[in-house]
């Protein structure tokens, strides 16, 4: 597929493995702006690139609003400003994920400890 190829709504859903509802929602909140010919939507290279960024951002745990704001930086201020904003966003998300990892490790340790105590109690009473 060349960069000039436009995808239909159905093709866009299939390419990115998203539901029609998700794609419509991304349009509704102005993350995507497909070309329209009558009631038919077409997604060009710009929209496909934006969709890749949206999905990547979601996989890193960014909210749709943060992603929307980040995409607006590119449109309003250009690539360098967007890259700087990305570094700031990434730093914040890395801190948040590290905290979640710490909490998860703590929960794993506590659950393991309680399981082991329970197994020991069962062994003593068996």
Residue 4 has pLDDT above 80, yes or no: no
SS3 33: coil
* Whole-number pLDDT of residue 1: 46
In the block, which residue shows the tokens 């506590």?
Answer: 110
- HSE of 72, CA atoms in CB hemisphere, 13 A: 9
- Tell me how far apart the alpha carbons of residues 75 and 61 are, in angstroms, rounded to a whole number: 23
In sequence order, the β-bridge partners of residue 37 are: 40
Q: What is the pLDDT of residue 78?
A: 86
Q: Rounded to two decimals, what is the model's pTM?
A: 0.77
Q: What percent of the chain has pLDDT over 70?
A: 95
pLDDT tens for each residue of 35-71: 999 999 999 999 999 999 999 999 999 999 999 999 9
């Amino acid at each position: 597929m060349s960069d000039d190829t436009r995808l239909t709504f159905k093709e866009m859903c299939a390419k990115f493995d998203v539901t029609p509802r998700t794609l419509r929602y991304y349009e509704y909140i102005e993350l995507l702006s497909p070309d329209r010919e009558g009631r038919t939507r077409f997604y060009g290279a710009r929209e496909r690139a934006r969709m890749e960024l949206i999905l990547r951002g979601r996989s890193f745990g960014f909210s749709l609003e943060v992603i929307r704001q980040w995409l607006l930086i590119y449109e309003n201020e250009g690539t360098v400003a967007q890259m700087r904003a990305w570094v700031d966003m990434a730093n914040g998300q890395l801190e948040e994920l590290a905290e979640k990892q710490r909490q998860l490790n703590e929960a794993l340790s506590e659950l393991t400890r309680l399981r082991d105590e329970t197994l020991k109690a069962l062994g003593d009473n068996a």
